[in-house]
């Protein structure tokens, strides 16, 4: 689980230290292992080693051909592929940096990849990065951005027996919620890929007591935006979308709580293009991953890993041997010199 990665970090570090072709170091609970290739290019393979909280699946169960358990899909399957590649790819075509990092399943401020970059920027020099998030062994390009914000809808307190003396903030919030429902599911096309957007209300807070007209309602919303918008454009879109419903004279306002940037598909990157040619299928990433973090520091990246992303965080998540082998073979062929592969 997040913030409790010591044992898995111990295991990964101990395993990688056994191989003389690797230069391995541990930085907190992040493990960085490198091997030199024949070209001047460097490729990063990255994956997080934490999981969400268990949901009755803390004990692994193998029912052929599926291995069930917390994090089996998201993303111990990808971590397993990385470990096997680190062991087997001794003389790679390009230099490889394997990054195993903690605390991804939490807020941005605690993201282990971000903290590693902040303290060890020299590690992050690469022509491309491949994030082994579950993607059914096809490329999931780019990712959605996430904007979390609060709509504070104001009113005026009054006795509930005399509502005409006040303004009911809960009643005023109805038109805002209808606007959220009417958002639908826009599907922008970015670099030929169809992304989905969504706007959802995830929390509502309001009311004082049974005989008082409430003077404030706080709606917490999540906006998943396509990579045709950056964070600034996403905020401006939300401001314009709700502008006509907000009464500034009453004190209505939008407060932005957190934003995670989107990431472009980057399909023209030479290494990602080579991977695309090998798997012959690309899907847009519906969700946020650290591909966006890589893009923010100037490294084009994509998602490519074993397992079905729709199972992630569920009580029934699993990975299969076939999924692991399929992903492993593609990446080994991509990274190895011909004579080694």
Active site residues: 50, 104
Strands 216-225 and 189-190: unpaired
- If one counts every other C-beta atom within 10 angstroms of the C-beta of residue 285, the result is 27
DSSP strands (E only) in the chain: 23-27, 30-35, 42-48, 61-63, 66-68, 95-101, 128-131, 139-141, 145-154, 158-159, 189-190, 193-194, 198-206, 212-213, 216-225, 253-260, 282-284, 301-303, 318-320
Q: Which residues contact 31 (CB under 8 A, 6 or more apart)?
A: 9, 12, 13, 16, 24, 25, 98, 99, 100, 101
Among candidates 219, 218, 208, 217, which has minimal Cα distance to 158? 208
């Amino acid at each position: 689980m997040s913030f409790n990665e010591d044992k898995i970090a111990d295991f990964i570090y101990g395993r990688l230290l056994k191989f003389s072709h690797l230069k391995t170091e541990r930085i907190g609970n992040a493990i960085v292992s490198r091997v030199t290739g024949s070209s001047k290019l460097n490729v990063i393979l990255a994956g997080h080693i934490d999981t969400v909280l268990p949901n009755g699946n803390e004990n692994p169960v193998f029912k052929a051909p599926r291995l069930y358990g917390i994090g089996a899909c998201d993303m111990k399957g990808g971590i397993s592929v990385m470990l096997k590649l680190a062991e087997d790819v001794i003389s790679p075509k390009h230099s490889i940096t394997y990054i195993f990092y903690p605390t991804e399943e939490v807020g941005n401020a605690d993201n282990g990849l971000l903290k590693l970059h902040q303290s060890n920027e020299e590690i992050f020099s690469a022509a491309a990065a491949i994030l082994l998030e579950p993607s059914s062994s096809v490329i999931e390009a780019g990712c959605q951005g996430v904007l979390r914000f609060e709509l504070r809808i104001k009113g005026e307190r009054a006795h509930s027996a005399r509502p005409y003396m006040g303004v009911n903030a809960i009643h005023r919030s109805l038109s805002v919620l209808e606007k959220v429902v009417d958002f639908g599911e826009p599907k922008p096309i970015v670099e030929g890929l169809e992304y989905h957007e969504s706007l959802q209300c995830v929390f509502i807070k309001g009311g004082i007591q049974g005989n008082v007209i409430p003077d404030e309602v706080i709606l917490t919303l999540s906006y998943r935006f396509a990579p045709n918008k950056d964070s600034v454009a996403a905020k401006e879109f939300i401001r314009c979308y709700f502008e006509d419903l907000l009464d500034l004279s009453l004190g209505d306002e939008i407060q932005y709580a957190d934003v995670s940037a989107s990431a472009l598909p980057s399909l023209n990157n030479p290494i990602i293009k080579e991977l695309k040619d090998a798997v012959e299928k690309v899907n847009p990433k519906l969700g946020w991953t650290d591909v966006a973090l890589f893009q923010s520091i100037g490294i084009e990246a994509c998602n490519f890993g074993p397992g079905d992303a729709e199972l992630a965080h569920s009580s029934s998540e699993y990975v299969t041997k076939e999924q692991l082998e399929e992903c492993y073979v593609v990446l080994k062929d991509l990274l190895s010199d011909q004579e080694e592969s």
